[in-house]
Structure 1
Amino acid sequence: MNSKRTFKPFILVLIAIVGLQSCKEKKEETAKQEVDVTTTKQDGFVQIFDGKTLDNWEGDPNYWRVENGNLVGEVTPTTLLKNNTFIIWKGGQPADFELKLEFRIAEAGNSGINYRSERIDTIPFALRGYQADIDGKIRYTGQNYEEKKRATLAYRGEIARITSQENPDTPGSLRANVAKNAWQSREVLESLGDSEELKTKIKSEDWNEAHLIIKGNKLQHYINGILMSEVIDDDTVNRASKGHLGVQVHVGPPMKVQYRNIRLKNL
């Protein structure tokens, strides 16, 4: 009889201890969430990809999916492309902004981050506009390439000033001003370093961070904290001040690219 009376209070004390511990854990988790929210508010960046779904993104499901918290774009031997295809953020058309994300791309891969872009009505999920180029062989990663428009604006390692062609009203003059896949009305103002040396700062088939700072007519592309290219776009005829944001899978061999931690801050 005495042992039963002793046992009962012991159980009650144990339950109370467990309850207090549970409350403490909940409070700590709530505090952690509050810190995370505060940090987000302080730096101004907002997650635009939730890591679980394609909510607020629009693309061809044959090429885009969510896997292990990553946004995955993949071309297989049975889904080879005839046109480059994008998954497009539906949350707006940013003008001045910063974008941060991490990417990992297979060696055979070709991709890019499009911004201030317009949709092409005649091709599903296609964008025309500025692109922070990304490729698996790291030939082009970091440069500014304008998709389906003025082509290369600044190679990796360049600060380049872009101007209009002489006769902007001449039919077909936009393409006529492109040679060797680069816009001809461009002036290299300054070197950011040798392209091959900068290439060594970009990890092959591993995670890298891209950081775009887009403000007014200045377009800066950083990879792993290093400025890889900068465009000063003084081409008042062809430049864009706002537009769609999206990421690409490119025509070519089977490939895979992954994106995560996609964060946007409007300036």
Structure 2
Amino acid sequence: MHRLSLCLALLLSFASTSALRADEANQLTAEEKAKGFELLFNGQDLEGWKQSGNWKVTDGVIERTGRGGDIVYDVKPIPDDFELRFQWKVAPGSNSGVYYRPGQYEYQILDNQKHRDGKTPDTSAASLYYCIAPSHDATKEPGQWNTGRIVCQGTVIQHWLNGEKVVDIDYTNPELAPQIEKLKKRGADVAARGAKLKLQDHGDPVWYRSIKLRELDGKEELDKSPLKEKK
């Protein structure tokens, strides 16, 4: 494909995905209401979010527009046990992250194909950054919406991407000791709770919407199906 044609294709992709039912993306479904989810982003403005003016809302989407730092949901901390659902997309080569516990608990947001972090499994998209690699690459092309999900209960952490579970750990598992040690070296205390949700400004274009949270009772029956093999 010629360079001009490729550029046009990318522009059309971004335009079409930005217009994808944004009004519905930022609403709770009947199932989500029944489970106790709440919206953290209303789709209209950044009420409840703290930032330095480098994030804005466009067509029902939180968009990074320039330098200034991360954006934080400042209303209340993330519960000890929770499920977080969100949608994200990146431009080619972009990098961002979703932080959800004190220290460096990061769900990596990335274009795996063009960004250098995509070449290393434990820093690729949907990894527990630097510590736990996803079981396989379930990302969509840049410009397309991905659906992320984080489930934390007790000592279990799960990362989901586009409906597929890609990380499922119990950090008390002795077999994971080397990875958990890397997490601690990044500044994380595995016993710590009470961080505020943060979306990372890594200097690249990134978009978020449909950010929904519910508290778990600590006894939720979690999905324990085996992870898929790497492709």
CA–CA distance in structure 2, aligned partners of residues 212 and 38 of structure 1 = 20
The residue identity in structure 1 corresponding to 2:82 is F
Identify the residue that residue 220 of structure 2 maps to in structure 1. Answer: none
Q: CA deviation at 1:37?
A: 7.7
Structure 1 or 2: more strand by fraction:
1
What is the SS of the residue equivalent to 2:34? helix
Identify the residue that residue 204 of structure 1 maps to in structure 2. Answer: 141
Identity %: 26
Which of 136-145 and 48-57 deviates more?
A: 136-145
Aligned pairs for 1:237-248 within 5 A = 238-239=189-190, 240-248=192-200
Identify the residue that residue 41 of structure 2 maps to in structure 1. Answer: 49
CA–CA distance in structure 1, aligned partners of residues 213 and 97 of structure 2 = 16
Aligned pairs for 1:12-51 within 5 A = 39-51=31-43
Which of 63-72 and 231-240 deviates more?
A: 231-240
Q: Which of residues 43, 56, 62 in structure 2 aligns to 1:65?
A: 56
The residue identity in structure 1 corresponding to 2:159 is H
Aligned pairs for 1:142-157 within 5 A = 142-145=126-129, 152-157=130-135
The residue identity in structure 1 corresponding to 2:199 is V
Identify the residue that residue 193 of structure 1 maps to in structure 2. Answer: none
CA–CA distance in structure 1, aligned partners of residues 98 and 51 of structure 2 = 14
Identify the residue that residue 18 of structure 2 maps to in structure 1. Answer: none
Q: Which of residues 228, 246, 249 in structure 1 aligns to 2:201?
A: 249
Query: Kindly tell me: are residues 222 and 40 of structure 1, through their superposed partners in 2, closer, same or farther at Cα, counting changes over 3 Å?
Result: closer
Are the counterparts in 2 of residues 99 and 212 from structure 1 also a CA contact under 8 Å? Answer: yes
Q: CA deviation at 1:232?
A: 2.2
Query: Kindly tell me: are residues 37 and 143 of structure 1, through their superposed partners in 2, closer, same or farther at Cα, counting changes over 3 Å?
Result: closer
Q: Which of residues 149, 163, 169 in structure 2 aligns to 1:225?
A: 163
The answer to whether residue 72 in structure 2 is matched with residue 134 in structure 1 is no
- What do residues 222-242 of structure 1 show as CA deviations (whole Å, max 9, x unaligned)? 001111113322369821233
- What do residues 239-263 of structure 1 show as CA deviations (whole Å, max 9, x unaligned)? 1233111111215xxx211111110
TM-score when normalising by structure 2: 0.65
Q: CA deviation at 1:40?
A: 4.1
The residue identity in structure 1 corresponding to 2:74 is K
Q: Give aligned pairs, total.
A: 164
- What do residues 75-125 of structure 1 show as CA deviations (whole Å, max 9, x unaligned)? 4xxx4x7xxx311111211211000011011112110110013xxxxxxxx
Identify the residue that residue 102 of structure 1 maps to in structure 2. Answer: 87
CA–CA distance in structure 2, aligned partners of residues 65 and 226 of structure 1 = 30
CA–CA distance in structure 1, aligned partners of residues 29 and 107 of structure 2 = 29
What CA RMSD, in Å, does the superposition of the two structures yield over aligned residues? 2.1
Query: Kindly tell me: are residues 231 and 53 of structure 1, through their superposed partners in 2, closer, same or farther at Cα, counting changes over 3 Å?
Result: same
Are the counterparts in 2 of residues 143 and 156 from structure 1 also a CA contact under 8 Å? Answer: yes
Identify the residue that residue 215 of structure 1 maps to in structure 2. Answer: 153
The residue identity in structure 2 corresponding to 1:231 is I
TM-score when normalising by structure 1: 0.57
| Higher alpha-carbon Rg | 1
What is the SS of the residue equivalent to 1:88? strand
The residue identity in structure 2 corresponding to 1:114 is Y
The residue identity in structure 2 corresponding to 1:264 is L
Query: Kindly tell me: are residues 37 and 156 of structure 1, through their superposed partners in 2, closer, same or farther at Cα, counting changes over 3 Å?
Result: closer
Identify the residue that residue 149 of structure 1 maps to in structure 2. Answer: none
CA–CA distance in structure 1, aligned partners of residues 51 and 168 of structure 2 = 29
